[in-house]
């Protein structure tokens, strides 16, 4: 595993940890807010809705970041695969011309040997 892959995994893991910690913090904040705030029921419900909306916005942003990172990684891997395929084709073409040259040389040697024996 390359250091770049490890770094990408660490970034993705960190993003997921951040999202989890945010949700835990938001939940604790809402819970403490309900217990300690001297607000009316309607105000408390609005505060809870606002907190949930903020959490949803944060998760949506984090999912876009992760999606972008995964897309970049997939694109990079596709490019590497394409490079490997091209190198493989070049190697096969190189071997193919070498094999064809060897077969031609073998034919020529056979013809030469047959014609030499036919003369004697």
**Contacts of 66 by beta carbon, 8 Å cutoff, 6+ apart:** 12, 15, 16
How confident is the prediction along the chain (120 residues), in pLDDT tens digits per residue? 455 555 656 666 777 788 888 888 888 887 887 777 676 778 878 888 998 899 899 999 999 999 999 999 999 999 898 888 888 888 777 777 777 788 888 888 888 887 777 776
Q: What residues make up the domain containing 10? A: 3-119
Report d(CA 59, CA 13) in Å as an integer. Answer: 14
Per the structure, the count of domains in the chain is 1
CA within 13 Å, CB half, 32? 6
- By the 8 A CB rule, do 12 and 69 touch? yes
């Amino acid at each position: 595993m390359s250091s770049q892959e490890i770094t990408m995994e660490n970034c993705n893991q960190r993003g997921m940890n951040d999202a989890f910690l945010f949700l835990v913090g938001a939940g604790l904040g809402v819970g403490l807010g309900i217990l300690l705030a001297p607000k009316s029921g309607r105000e408390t419900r609005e505060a809870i809705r606002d907190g949930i909306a903020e959490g949803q916005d944060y998760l949506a942003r984090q999912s876009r970041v992760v999606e972008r990172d995964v897309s970049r990684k997939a694109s990079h891997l596709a490019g590497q695969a394409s490079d490997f395929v091209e190198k493989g084709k070049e190697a096969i073409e190189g071997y193919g011309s070498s094999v064809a040259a060897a077969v031609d040389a073998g034919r020529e040697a056979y013809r030469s040997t047959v014609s030499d024996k036919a003369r004697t």
